[in-house]
Structure 1
Amino acid sequence: MTGGTSTDPAGTGDSSSKNGIGGNAAQVVQARDITGPVYVGRPRARPRWWLIGGLAAVILLAGTGAAVWLQPSGPAELRVTADLSANDAGPWGYASEDPGFPGPELAARLARPGADRDSQLAHDVRVAGGAGLLHQVIRLHLEGPRTGQVVVTDIRAVIRKRLPPLSGTLVWSPPQGAEDSAETLLELDDRFPVLQSAVRDATGNRNFPAGPYFPAHTIKLVDGETKEVIVTASAAKGAYDFDLAVFSEAGKEIKQTTVDDAGKPFRVTGFPCSARGQASYRTVYFAQADTTVSRQPDPEHFDGVGEC
Structure 2
Amino acid sequence: MVWTAVAGAVVTALLLALGPQLYDGDEIKDTVRDAVRDDSEIRHTVQFMDEGFDLILPAGFEMSDSRRRMLAAVTLDGGLEKQLTDVLGSAEPARPVVLNLRLTLEGRRNQPIFVDRISPVDIEREVPYSGTFIHIPPQISGSTVGMMFNLDERRPQARVPEKVDANDDEAVQRLGGMTDGHKPGALFFQDNTLTLKSAEEDALFIQAVATETAVSFRIRIDYRIGDRRGELVVDDAGDPFRVTPLNCVSRSRWAPDGELLASGMASYENVWSLKGDFSGLEEISDPRRFELGSPYC
TM score, norm. by length of structure 1: 0.66
In structure 2, the residue matched to 1:257 is 232
How many residue pairs end up in the alignment? Answer: 243
Change (3 A) 1:31 1:91: closer
Shift of residue 265 of structure 1? 0.3
Is the 8 Å Cα contact of residues 106 and 125 (structure 1) preserved in structure 2? no
Is the 8 Å Cα contact of residues 113 and 290 (structure 1) preserved in structure 2? no
Is the 8 Å Cα contact of residues 60 and 131 (structure 2) preserved in structure 1? yes
- Code of the residue aligned with 1:299 in structure 2: it is P
Q: Distance in 1 between matches of 2:68 and 2:78?
A: 15
Is the 8 Å Cα contact of residues 133 and 270 (structure 1) preserved in structure 2? yes
- Code of the residue aligned with 1:93 in structure 2: it is D
Task: Choose which of 73, 82, 87 in structure 1 pairs with 2:46.
Answer: 82
Shift of residue 219 of structure 1? 1.2
Shift of residue 261 of structure 1? 0.4
1:129-162 CA deviation, whole Å, 9 max, x = no partner?
3211221111111111242221111100114320
- Kindly name which structure, 1 or 2, has the bigger radius of gyration based on alpha carbons: 1
In structure 1, the residue matched to 2:100 is 137
Task: Choose which of 212, 226, 233 in structure 1 pairs with 2:201.
Answer: 226
1:187 and 2:187 correspond: no
Shift of residue 196 of structure 1? 1.6
- Code of the residue aligned with 1:121 in structure 2: it is L
- Code of the residue aligned with 2:54 in structure 1: it is G
Change (3 A) 1:175 1:72: closer
Q: Residues 1-308 of structure 1 correspond to what in structure 2 (within 5 A)? A: 29-31=17-19, 71=35, 77-84=41-48, 86-87=49-50, 90-97=51-58, 99-100=60-61, 107-108=68-69, 110-112=71-73, 115=76, 120-122=79-81, 124-125=83-84, 128=88, 129-175=92-138, 180-201=143-164, 206-276=181-251, 277-291=264-278, 292-306=280-294, 307-308=296-297
- Code of the residue aligned with 1:120 in structure 2: it is G
Partner-residue secondary structure (3-state), 1:224: coil
Is the 8 Å Cα contact of residues 143 and 205 (structure 2) preserved in structure 1? no
Change (3 A) 1:301 1:150: same
1:57-102 CA deviation, whole Å, 9 max, x = no partner?
xxxxxxxxxxx99949999822333222x23xx3220001155467
Shift of residue 105 of structure 1? 6.7
- Code of the residue aligned with 1:303 in structure 2: it is E
Partner-residue secondary structure (3-state), 2:277: coil
Partner-residue secondary structure (3-state), 1:214: helix
RMSD, matched Cα? 3.6
TM score, norm. by length of structure 2: 0.69
Change (3 A) 1:101 1:124: farther
- Code of the residue aligned with 1:285 in structure 2: it is W
Identity %: 26
Partner-residue secondary structure (3-state), 1:125: helix
Shift of residue 273 of structure 1? 3.0
Judging by fraction of residues, say which structure has more helix.
Answer: 2
Is the 8 Å Cα contact of residues 153 and 218 (structure 1) preserved in structure 2? yes
Change (3 A) 1:71 1:287: closer
Gaps of 5+ in 1: 1-26, 33-67
Is the 8 Å Cα contact of residues 76 and 250 (structure 1) preserved in structure 2? no
Shift of residue 241 of structure 1? 0.9
In structure 2, the residue matched to 1:38 is none
Q: Distance in 2 between matches of 1:99 and 1:206?
A: 33
Gaps of 5+ in 2: 1-14, 21-31, 167-175, 252-263
1:186-244 CA deviation, whole Å, 9 max, x = no partner?
12112221212224447795123332211322111222222111111121221111000
